[in-house]
A and B are shown apart, each in its own frame.
Chain A
Amino acid sequence: MVSASARWLPVAEELAELFPEGHCQRGWTVLITAAFGQGGHSLAYALASEPSRRGHWCAVVGAEDPGIAAAAELGLDLTRVVFVPLAGEPLAEAAGSLLDGFDMLLLVLDRGIKAATARRLAARARDRRAVIVVVGKDNSVWPEADLTITVKDAHWEGLGQGSGRLRARQARVHSAARRGERRPSAHALHLPSHEGSVGVCDDAKT
């Protein structure tokens, strides 16, 4: 049931464009930067959805208040996920251990992380061929990420002035790889769309 590829982890089709090769290289650290409430968490769950559905174990580390129903709606297979609500040193230590048996870690770093710790975890991810998806407020959280996805200008549709409901959110997203030939790219992103999916909008890239 597990993807045969030894070199990469699968990514939902709608998010493939964010990655240089359309999927996520094992050993990589992917940084999602988003200001508070701008969709960083949703994007992270969406990135973990396809791996979890294909049998890869995922761990959500450091999220104090994970929205489980939301995670399930975004496609995360809850039977292949564990949640580790630690902080500080325990978070770093647990993350190191988890990289041994989990193919993907979502590291929610609202309070940042020491640079040395980040480097150590990144090295361990490379060694264990796992992927770390970091969610933080800006680049300073993990400056040496292999891929940085920046979420900006998120805006919701659907609410009025005493009517309607949150229906869909769009954001602008920049994706930049640290190495390789692909140049940074910009996309319009559903986060989520009216149908609930998260992904790059089909219409014109900005």
Chain B
Amino acid sequence: MPRLRAAATHASVAAGQGKFAARDEGLQRMLALRCPDLFEEDSEAEHLRRFAEALTMVRELCPFAEALRLGVIVFPARGPARFFGGEQRVLQELRQRLIGLLGEESAIQLGIADGLFAACTAAAMQEIVPLGKTQAFLAQLPVACLGQPKLSASLERVGIYRLGLFARLPEASITERFGRDAVAAHRVARGQSGELPGLRDAKALARLASLEAERSLVSHQADFFGGSSVQDRRALAIARGVQDRFGPRSLMVARLFAGRDPSTRGRLLPLASADSPRSSGEGPWPGSLPLPSPARVLSRALEVSLLSTEGKEIQLDRHATMSARPASLEAWGRRQAAVAWSAAWPVEEGWWHRSRRLARMQLLLEGGVAVLLAYSEGRWSLEGIYD
């Protein structure tokens, strides 16, 4: 089953990055490009114009390329790497095209790493961070790289000079010690997220967007993903606009991963840090749960009580046999009668499971609502609703 293995490898890379992660965002391999000559706007708006041209050109290589700020462009590296035969080749191709556009003397910095922040930093250092080595790469960076002077000062005062040490601080202590704003930076340091606050310059991007709106859309087929139409580009441009306005997690794409846990099989990832939507072509994975899947999957399972007629919590023994017949479910502050239910299905422990789920069960309540329950260490929780 090569496809299953391939997806499993990908999932393990994503999972392996956040050893501490409660929820990782599936950091994707990103290519970042920096043109320091274009960082600052000039009075003639010449830099803005040239940057807009550079962005258009990069979008010919990858329609999902986006600007973070003036002079900085990022895009997911996987598709182009496949197309050009490796990451080095993509960099070569990109550099050649940029020199053609911007001139030999122009400074062009390229880099590849997992996640947005690491990629941008790698570009500043002109590095390709090998797959899986991003955490090590981040660890040795000085805290000043976070671009947050107050946080850096606080960290250095307590002897923390590098991101590695910052990352090792327990998540729970960060707010108390360094303030709420430091939490996002901490997640970035730990390799859990690529979205460092301050990476994007919304105002500059707005100016860029209005410049782009003046130019006509070039409608031609890009080779990259087997055809990227005018509709694709338009939809993605609008989507990026929403994301710029409301934040990275306001605009998500869906991916199916190998796995049997409803909450990890289908996942949402922010558009910026997700691979091109096209690449999630793999179909639904076989799992221990029969179809259909629940149309609502709670992002955080809800603790509930499954009760017998005497009002006692139903327990499962090690054969997943119930201690009594389920009579009612207490959830959302209400008690509803149980009408029908499956046996409890023990779940195999897979390497991709972060939590120990022992069993799952389908339950039909009076009123016709069917839910998916999970049982773990004596407690029941509600994972999904078959809406």
Contacts and interface: CB of A to CB of B under 8 A. Distances in A.
Interface string A17-49: 000000000000000001111111110010000
B364 A72 contact: no
B281 interface: yes
B368 A37 contact: yes
B250 A37 contact: no
Nearest to A58: B235
B332 to A, nearest CB: 9
Contact of B266 (A69, A97, A160): A69
Interface stretch (A8-16, A60-68, A178-186): A60-68
Contacts of B231: 2, 55-57, 101
B295 A42 contact: yes
A83 B387 contact: no
A102 B238 contact: yes
Contacts of A155: 368
Interface string A125-144: 00000000000000000000
A71 B262 CA distance: 12
A59 B294 CA distance: 19
A162 B341 contact: yes
Q: Which of A82, A84, A102 has most B Cβ within 10 Å?
A: A82
A98 interface: yes
Contacts of A73: 284, 291-293
A98 B242 contact: yes
A3 B370 CA distance: 37
Interface string A162-193: 11111001000000000000000000000010
B262 A67 contact: yes
Q: Which of B229, B239, B298 has most A Cβ within 10 Å?
A: B239
Determine the main DSSP class of B at the interface with A.
mixed
B267 A68 contact: yes
B292 A196 contact: yes
Interface residues of B, number: 62
A84 B229 contact: no
A72 B234 CA distance: 23
Contact of B235 (A38, A63, A102, A153): A102
A101 B294 contact: no
A162 B284 CA distance: 27
B249 A66 contact: no
Interface in B287-330: 290-299, 322, 325
B278 A72 contact: no
A67 B250 contact: no
B292 A37 contact: no
13 contacts: A37-B367, A42-B292, A67-B387, A69-B266, A72-B266, A78-B256, A82-B251, A94-B250, A97-B238, A102-B238, A159-B370, A166-B370, A196-B291
Given A101-B231, A101-B235, A163-B343, 14 more contacts: A36-B369, A38-B387, A64-B299, A66-B254, A67-B297, A67-B387, A70-B293, A73-B291, A79-B278, A94-B242, A98-B238, A160-B341, A164-B342, A196-B292
Instruction: Give 3 nearest A-B pairs by CB, closest first.
Output: A68-B266, A37-B369, A101-B238
